[in-house]
Amino acid sequence: MKIAIGSDHAGFAYKEKIKVLLKELGHEVKDFGTNSTEACDYPDFIRPTAEAVAKGEAERGIVLGGSGNGEAIVANKVKGVRCALCFSRDTAIWGRSHNNANCLSIGERTVTAEQALEIVKLFIETPFEGGRHERRVQKIEAA
């Protein structure tokens, strides 16, 4: 699977760990930055990550920051992106299975590195259930 990833300075450390995990799992990773913990403006890195998903250049996107909230907001402004802010096993599973999220947002200040890696793995591996959830997602996207 092709996965786009981007973060601001507050999500940089987890981004680097997640890239290692994704490559170990056999995925192709496109990193949209940032490349350090030096303060930066998160939309500069999050929007291009989300746009790669919307354009079909990546099947999934992962965005990271301090809380993950701003990153999810920016990603969700891109038409065709459904970004889920996840902070637990359940939110990762539900984001995929119920909402067919194609982008994941994680806050480095909200979960441990181990939890973040587990969330990523679940998000990547969980299928969309379809059915009534699919009709709801289609209705939202049409609006």
Q: Return d(Cα 46, Cα 32) in angstroms, integer.
A: 8
Q: Which residues pair with 65 in a beta bridge?
A: 107
Q: Does the pLDDT of residue 106 top 60, yes or no?
A: yes
**Structure confidence by residue, pLDDT tens digits, 52-105:** 999 999 999 999 999 999 999 999 999 999 999 999 999 999 999 999 999 999
Q: Which residues pair with 84 in a beta bridge?
A: 104
Is residue 137 classed as helix, strand or coil in its secondary structure?
helix
Q: Does the pLDDT of residue 135 top 70, yes or no?
A: no
27 labelled catalytic: no
Statement: the pTM of the whole predicted model exceeds 0.85: yes
Q: What is the CATH number of the domain that holds 15?
A: 3.40.1400.10
Domain count, the chain: 1
Bridge-based pairing state of the strands 2-7 and 28-31: parallel
Q: Does the pLDDT of residue 143 top 70, yes or no?
A: no
Taken as a whole, the chain contains a residue count of 143
Q: Does the pLDDT of residue 141 top 60, yes or no?
A: yes
Looking at residue 66, its amino acid is G
Residue of 16, 38, 51, 71 marked active site: 71
Looking at residue 11, its amino acid is G
Residue of 27, 59, 98, 129 marked active site: 98
Parent domain of 63: 2-142
129 labelled catalytic: no
Q: Which residues pair with 64 in a beta bridge?
A: 7, 106
